[in-house]
Structure 1
């Protein structure tokens, strides 16, 4: 069993990354879905990170792919999916990369959705929430090829 902690869109508030690690010290993996606006890669140490549309100064990938507890995960920021029918466009990338679980941010609104065999988790924003949401991050537990729990946690 592995515990993953996912965050996104802190937009320069680098202290929140340390705060998340203090709140979730037993995580097996920390993931950042972009728009950290870090000025140095060392500020992202200990996190699997992808580039957001505001991460201009860092050489970060658009996608990261992981396999954890038999679950294939695709991580991306999400700026290329628009705001309507996002999941339809996300499924294309999940199929292309051979994954069933996607972590993405960009909208600043937390959500956990499933469509068929695909699951989409957006942790929201740790700094600038939108749509009436609170500052948030996500915690996902994987075990033996399954998502055993997924929740949005408010800060």
Structure 2
């Protein structure tokens, strides 16, 4: 399985189709909110998407669950789960929906962590990164019980890679 995860693009709709075009072999594309685009905007339509605190269009759901192969992926923006201070509310909700992978944004800080066999990934921001200068998104590949998470910049160059 290969998925591409974006978040917090804050009005830059042109970057979304560029990222998608760079990964035509992905099984799915996820946008964790704060695109600031209308839900049906052509630039984000290929993504499974949720509403962030800066998204005005209430058509966006606040969370999504997607099953891909053997993995259950749960996505939310994060502002409703206090992600800037703790992962605990995310972990409780992940347990409720049976998620193996949790995708979220909001903090604009990239990160990946495995907690009790659940992978938590924040792709960072392609517009306004925090904690580093690179604007980032994530590519997650899984094989068996292991994951490779690559954080790439807007030119699709590797910033950080981790294997879990």
Q: Do they fold alike, i.e. is TM over 0.5? A: yes
**What runs of 5+ residues in structure 1 fail to find an aligned partner?**
none
Alignment of 1:97-108 (within 5 A): 97-108=97-108
Distance in 2 separating the partners of 1:73 and 1:39? 23
| Moved segments of 4+, more than 2 Å | none
User: Residues of 1 paired with 2:15 and 2:98: CA distance?
Assistant: 32
Provide the residue aligned with 1:15 in structure 2.
14
Tell me the TM-score normalised to structure 2 length.
Answer: 0.86
The residue aligned with 2:31 is 32
d(CA) in 2 for partners of 1:107, 1:133: 14
CA contact (8 A) 1:140 1:147 kept: no
Secondary structure of the residue aligned to 1:80 is: helix
Which structure has the higher relative contact order (CA within 8 Å, separation 6+)?
1
The size of the alignment, in residue pairs, is 152
Q: Cα RMSD between the aligned structures?
A: 1.5
Cα-to-partner distance string for 1:12-70 (whole Å, 9 max, x where unaligned):
10000111012222212111000010035133211100111111124011110011121
Equivalence for 2:63: 63
Equivalent residue, structure 2, for 1:81:
81
Q: Structure 1 length normalisation: TM-score?
A: 0.91
* Structure 2: runs of 5 or more not aligned: 155-164
Deviation digits for residues 58-107 of structure 1 (CA, Å, limit 9, x no counterpart): 4011110011121111011001232222x112111101111121000000
Write the distance in 2 (CA, Å) between the matches of 1:30 and 1:154: 16
- 1:42 is paired with a residue whose SS is coil
